[in-house]
Structure 1
Amino acid sequence: MFSTVFSIVGTALALASASAASALPVSSRDVWDPAIFTPTSETLWYIGQDYTVTWNTSNPPQEVTDVYGRLYLTQGDSGQAGPTLAQGFPLSDGEVSITVPDVQPALNWKVVLMGDSGDYSAEFRIESAPADA
């Protein structure tokens, strides 16, 4: 009986040890989630107008898993992907030009920059195009 218990415990410890060894610490992974500079919380975008989204490129990891980005809109804390603003651009560019799609005007829009990982901008406002545009 003791040998069966020791065998079970030994197997469990070996599996736990193997599992822990295969999990890389976060610091050694090549995840890059650059901070978004613009838009900011003070930003106002108009539907149909062109803008530039910018992000920090100063600290990429040595190996970047996905060098191309995707940028989309989301509202508030939903995390649900809304309209795609741009895709296939190099993350190392630090900026991409977009045209604001026809979305519901609101105060709580965010852009999400996806590549290796994702990062959100601050919430900002999107309004209908001004009458004189």
Structure 2
Amino acid sequence: MKFTSTFLAATAAFVASALAGASATPLTTRTVFTPPVTYPHAGTVWFSGQTHNVTWDTSDAPSQITNKLGRIFLRKAGITTPLILAENFDILLGRIEVEVPLVLEGTDYQLNLFGDSGNFSPEFTIQGSGI
């Protein structure tokens, strides 16, 4: 196939037009916010059936956050489980009340606070109901 100068000129004009359009579109700066979990902390013991306020630090929240809706998953032995303890809350609240589920007792639980990006709590303990 033989390329003509007309074809090459048309292709160059198309590429230049596409690039000009792309550069004219303003980009919105968005920041991923991963606030550190402050409670539960290492050494915390929860009992199944109790309610607790999970807390996280929002003091360094950027002005533009990609996703402000939070979700908290339970983790066991470094693996995020499908157990959702809370969801659809404003990540800027800094706290949300959760009910401790009935799970196997263990010292290797964590919470995964998820908004823009996941952030894990330190490991803590969940025990039986204590009744």
Match of 2:81 in 1: 81
Compare the two structures and name the one with the higher strand fraction.
2
For the residues of structure 2 that align with 1:82 and 1:48, how far apart are their CA atoms? 18
Match of 1:90 in 2: 90
With normalisation by structure 1, the TM-score equals 0.74
2:32 matches 1:57: no
For the residues of structure 2 that align with 1:54 and 1:90, how far apart are their CA atoms? 12
Describe the SS at the equivalent of 1:92: helix
4+ residue runs over 2 A deviation: none
Match of 1:105 in 2: 105
Cα distance per residue 1:36-88 (max 9 Å; x no partner):
0000011000001110100000011221111110001011222x333100001
Return 5+ residue gaps in structure 1 as ranges.
1-27
For the residues of structure 2 that align with 1:97 and 1:115, how far apart are their CA atoms? 16
**How large is the Cα RMSD of the aligned pairs?**
1.2
For the residues of structure 2 that align with 1:82 and 1:74, how far apart are their CA atoms? 9
With normalisation by structure 2, the TM-score equals 0.75
Match of 2:72 in 1: 71
Q: Letter of the aligned partner of 2:74 in structure 1?
A: L
Aligned residues: 103
Describe the SS at the equivalent of 2:82: coil
For the residues of structure 2 that align with 1:51 and 1:62, how far apart are their CA atoms? 29
Q: Radius of gyration: which is bigger?
A: 2
Aligned-pair CA distance for 1:102: 1.2
